[in-house]
Amino acid sequence: MVRKISSGEIVAKASRGLIKDYFVENAGGNSKESKLLQPTTDFNQLLKLMDEPTFNTEVNALLDGLLKPGWRIVKRKNISDRDLDKELEFKRKFRGSKLLRQLFLNLIIFRNAYIEAVAKRDVVEELHMLETTEMNINVDMHGEVLGYTQVHQSGPFVKKQTVFFTPTECVHLTPSRITTNPYGHVDTRAIMQVVDAKAKLDNFIVNLFTKNSYRKLWNIEETDSSENVKNFIATLKEGAVYTDKDIVILGKIASSLIRDPAELQMFSALTN
């Protein structure tokens, strides 16, 4: 379904009210460059979710479903008519298919996306996706967007570099705005907790079946040498890395399991 977009939907007017988290995250200052509202979400952590196979598969399946029906560009005066010339221009000039896929990926994962529009004589000549993980919004306390700033840092020992975009040079999209915060509600953060718990459980199960036991409790008896204890601990640590390494001990040492071995059956069911 195609409908006309009102001017109120295109331009968000600033109100007399204050936007959420402005005085918590804002760096202060009076210039457009210094009124920087930083995101409360660590977008780099969200990016790491794509390393999780299940999440990656689900995101790409959702993306394929969104793009499968295709898209079209309609004429401004009559939204029932397709503008085939504009569609062809978008595909060829702006690499439309690639741009849309990258745009929707950012919206699905980060719930935010930024597009740079390069214009000459008020005509858009280029469209480029900007790095969502590095973008910040310049905004006043009432919500008027003054611009966008990319804060780039290639490494911990490299000086930060910033690039400022005016509101006409950058288009910011966020589909899940609940509060007045311009970044919207990044609900994908909830998935991070699930993925993190799953990763810890996977590592636990792998270690469990690799070593064929729970963590052991070692009871060292009848020893008067702290050096022997240190050597024994060092040998155990080496054995965790070199599984074929022999363990030689001096004195009486007994080991026992902290938990019941019968519980192994419960964890084995989780891998099926």
Q: How confident is the model at residue 17 (pLDDT cuts 50, 70, 90)?
A: confident
Q: If pLDDT is split at 50, 70 and 90, which confidence band does 22 have?
A: confident
In the predicted structure, residue 245 carries a pLDDT above the cut 80 = no
Domain limits of the chain?
7-190, 214-270
Per-residue pLDDT at 189 exceeds 60: yes
Residue 262 in this model has a pLDDT that exceeds 90: no
Please write the tens of the pLDDT for every residue from 108-161. 999 999 999 999 988 889 999 999 999 999 988 888 889 999 998 777 777 888
More confident residue, 79 or 8: 79
Instruction: Look up the pTM and report it.
Output: 0.69
pLDDT of residue 5: 47
pLDDT score for 244:
63
DSSP per-residue string spanning the chain: ---PPPHHHHS----SSPPTTHHHHB---SSTTT-EE--SS-HHHHHGGGGSHHHHHHHHHHHHHHHTT----B-SS-TTSB-HHHHHHHHHTS-HHHHHHHHHHHHHHHS-EEEEEEEETTEEEEEEE--GGGEEEEE-TT--EEEEEEEE-SSTTS--EEEEE-TTTEEEE-S---SS-TT---TTHHHHHHHHHHHHHHHHHHHHHHHTS--EEEEEES---HHHHHHHHHHHHHHHHSTT------SEEEEEESS-GGGHHHHHHHT-
pLDDT tens profile 29-80: 444 445 788 888 889 989 999 988 888 999 999 999 999 988 888 888 888 8
- Cα(185)–Cα(189) distance, rounded to whole angstroms? 9
Contacts of 53 (CB under 8 A, 6+ apart): none
Q: How many CB atoms lie within 10 A of CB 132?
A: 21
Q: What is residue 213's predicted lDDT score, i.e. its pLDDT?
A: 60
Q: How many CB atoms lie within 10 A of CB 19?
A: 20
Amino acid at 151: V
- Could you read off the pLDDT of 195-234 as tens digits, one per residue? 888 888 887 777 777 766 666 666 666 666 677 777 777 8
pLDDT at residue 270 greater than cutoff 60: no
Residue 1 pLDDT class (50, 70, 90 cuts) = very low
